[in-house]
């Protein structure tokens, strides 16, 4: 029997107080996104469903096309969870990464998913933002929250301090 993960109200209180503190200090965090989806994340982490399918109507992971990841064996990987395919010592690193990124992007655009991605929360805020920008009509129900979130950050000048 698989143990169900839960998120207690005490932990949520810690997140809320951390969010308020970071906001007062003008530090950018993704705590508001975490607080919005934490319960569903834990629920989906215990199932065969994909968390991001719940979050957005149309989701596309942008990580393979935004960062170069090298695994412990020296292979270029699309992200930290997926295995590498070509060595950084063979040929041009940028060209090898770009070809791999395009390959994975095509798989993801066609709706392909990898088992290891089932409960991924890696770069959640960036993937959330990028998916809404890429597919605004498919994710229109999130658009108002998204605009309010970033407008508030611009208005309050959050992120100016380190």
Where in the chain are the domains? 1-55+120-162, 62-118
Q: Which long-range contacts (CB under 8 A, 24 or more apart) does 34-42 make?
A: 34/124, 37/124, 38/7, 38/12, 39/7, 41/119, 41/121, 42/4, 42/5, 42/6, 42/7
Task: Check the CA dihedral 129-145-55-30 and report its sign.
Answer: positive
Q: How far apart are alpha carbons 126 and 41 in whole angstroms? A: 16
Would you state the pLDDT for residue 77? 87
Residue pLDDT tens, the chain, 162 long: 445 555 678 888 888 899 899 888 877 777 877 888 888 887 887 777 888 888 888 888 888 888 888 988 899 988 888 888 889 899 899 999 999 888 888 888 887 888 888 767 777 778 888 888 888 898 888 888 778 777 766 666 555 544
In this structure, the strands spanning 75-77 and 86-87 are antiparallel
Q: Burial code of 69-80, b = ≥16 C-beta within 10 A, e = fewer?
A: beeeeebbbbbe
* C-alpha distance from residue 22 to each of 28, 121, 125, 155 (Å): 7, 21, 16, 15
Would you state the pLDDT for residue 7? 67
pTM: 0.67
Would you state the pLDDT for residue 112? 82
Which two tokens mark 93? 């690193």
Q: How far apart are alpha carbons 64 and 37 in whole angstroms? A: 23
């Amino acid at each position: 029997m698989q143990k169900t993960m839960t998120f207690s109200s005490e932990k949520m209180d810690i997140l809320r107080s951390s969010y308020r503190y970071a906001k007062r200090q003008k530090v950018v965090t993704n705590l508001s996104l975490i607080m919005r989806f934490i319960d569903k994340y834990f629920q989906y982490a215990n199932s065969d469903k994909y968390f991001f399918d719940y979050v957005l109507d149309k989701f596309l992971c942008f990580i393979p096309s935004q960062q170069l990841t090298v695994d412990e064996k020296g292979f270029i990987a699309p992200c930290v969870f997926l295995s590498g395919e070509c060595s950084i010592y063979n040929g041009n690193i940028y060209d090898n990464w770009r070809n791999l990124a395009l390959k994975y992007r095509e798989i993801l655009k066609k709706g392909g998913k990898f088992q290891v991605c089932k409960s991924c929360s890696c770069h959640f805020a960036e993937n959330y933002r990028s998916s809404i920008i890429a597919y605004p009509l498919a994710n229109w129900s999130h658009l108002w929250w998204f605009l309010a979130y970033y407008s508030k950050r611009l208005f309050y000048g959050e992120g100016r301090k380190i």
